[in-house]
Amino acid sequence: MGKAVIILAIGISVIISILIFSLNKNTDNGLKTAIDSYSETNARLIANSGIEIYLEKLRRNKSLTGNFLNNSLMEGSYDIYIWGADTLKIKSVGHFNGVDHTSIATAIRSQITLPNINSSIYVSSNNLSLNLNGNIDINGNDHDINGTQIPGTPLPGFGVDSPADSAYIVNNIKPKVSDAIQGAGEEPSVYCVNDSTNWLALTENYIFASDITLPSGTYSNGTVLGTATDPKITYASGDVSFSGNASGYGILIVNGNLSMSGNFTFHGIVIAYGQSTITTKTTGNSGIYGASIFVGQSVDMQATGNAQLYYSSQAITNAKNNIKSSRFQILSWWE
């Protein structure tokens, strides 16, 4: 009887030991599984976050390509590989606690949205003031990117929102200037145009995508705001004056007063806007080849000298086709 009890006790002890060992082993396996799952999840989150971070960098640096390694994030790191032109591939490898995860995104830049161009100059204002003198030339006939007239559909030289604005311009410009406003219809080519553009929303989108930002000030010789092969979106945050041999291609947004003098030329779309009063001044031999848009509660437009404000479909098309947007459409995301 005693031996049987001892044998039974030993057997139970062995069984309990086996059960404890099994439980400990299962606990270890469960803990390892939990740690592995945690590490894999974090590596994936780091990889995906790396793509998001570099999409934001690409918004500001539109020519960014190459390899960017050992970026620290969330107690781990990630490596980025970017290649492609219009269609971009962004590969991100996240590292966390010895675990690697790869995510790959394919993205394409959205095209920029251009405003409806309905005239060489378009003014939208509740209070329009004009002081046009000299040999200013406003022309809605089509021109090439450098201001030479070419065959094409003419637009009004001067576009406004209401018949009252049109009558004001016709009745208050000098005969010499009146003859120099050419384009669709009779001279002076001043007409009401149909425009429903939300200028504030449009300009905010351009500011978001801007390549060059200028503070208020004067910009003269040596200032280059894009080229014919690489046009830019330039945002001037305040009153600016361009003079000398400064030049630009693309889209110029001015949130304030705009002054152009000397030989300053811009090839594309110029938009000056303000919540209250804006003043635009053109003097000397300055020129805008594309379209000029002035929007504000009050617009005071002044011009002297030999300023040329010409409609150019080529300059506008060049901006549309070659300016890179800062917004992306994600075509695929693999992880």
Which pLDDT does position 55 carry in this prediction? 92
**3-state secondary structure at position 119:** coil
Please, what is the average pLDDT of the chain? Answer: 86
pLDDT attached to residue 277:
65
pLDDT in tens, 37-56: 888 999 999 999 999 999 98
Give tens-digit pLDDT for 78-104. Answer: 999 999 877 899 999 999 999 999 999
Out of 127-141, 223-237, 268-282, 301-315, least confident range: 268-282
Question: pLDDT grade, residue 15 (50/70/90)?
Answer: low
Residue 28: strand, helix, or coil: helix
pLDDT at position 173 is: 83
User: Model confidence over 183-235: pLDDT tens digits?
Assistant: 998 889 999 998 888 888 898 889 988 999 999 999 988 899 999 999 999 99
Output 53 or 305, whichever has higher pLDDT.
53
Q: Is the pLDDT of residue 2 over 80?
A: no
Q: Please, which residues bridge with residue 226 across strands? A: 231
**Dist CA 120 CA 145 (whole Å):** 13
Q: Examine the pLDDT at 17 and tell me if it is beyond 70.
A: no
Cis amide bond preceding 188, omega within 30: yes
Please report, for the chain, the start and end positions of each structural domain, with discontinuous segments joined by +. Answer: 2-109, 121-322
Determine the residue type at 301.
M
Strands 308-311 and 287-295: parallel
Token digits for 51?
A: 């793509």
Cα 304–Cα 181–Cα 255 angle in degrees, nearest 5: 60
**How does residue 5 score in pLDDT terms, banded at 50, 70 and 90?**
very low
Helix ranges (DSSP H) in 82-209 = 163-172, 175-179, 199-208
> Residue 18: its pLDDT value, please?
52
270: pLDDT strictly greater than 90: yes
Task: Report whether pLDDT(119) > 80.
Answer: yes
The label of the residue with tokens 């300009």 reads: 203
Residue among 60, 117, 53 at smallest CA distance from 325:
60
Looking at per-residue confidence, does 286 or 16 come out higher? Answer: 286
Per-residue pLDDT, 11: 47
Q: What is the pLDDT of residue 303?
A: 79
More confident position, 186 or 315: 315
